[in-house]
Amino acid sequence: MDTGCIVAWDQNIRYGVGGLNRQGVMNAMFGGEGMSLATVEGDGRVILQSVTIDGLAKALQKNAGPSAR
C-alpha cells in the first residue's frame, strides 16, 4: 500500500517500507504511484485513508472553483 495512506496502527503491528518489484516500478512510472510501499505485519488494527494528504489537497483545490484560488 502507498506509505501516505497509512494513518495509524496498533502497537502490535510492525510497519516497514519496502521497494517495488518490476510490476510496481511500472505502476510507479506510469500510474503516478510512489516508488516505495508500506508493509504491515502482525495482529491488530491498521487505519488507512483512501487518498494521500497531497492527493486530497490537490483534489480539493481542483474542485474548489476559481474564487478559492
What is the residue extent of each domain of the chain?
Answer: 3-68
Segments of 10-63 assigned E as strands? 14-18, 37-41, 46-48
CA distance 9 to 6: 8
CA distance 17 to 60: 28
- With b meaning 16 or more CB within 10 Å and e meaning fewer, what string describes 23-39? ebeeeeeeeeeeeebbe
Q: Say what the pLDDT of residue 10 is.
A: 96
Q: Say what the pLDDT of residue 28 is.
A: 53
Q: Say what the pLDDT of residue 4 is.
A: 78
Q: Say what the pLDDT of residue 36 is.
A: 66
Q: What is the mean pLDDT of each run of 10 residues along the chain (69 residues)?
A: 83 84 55 66 92 85 75
Write down the pTM of the prediction.
0.54
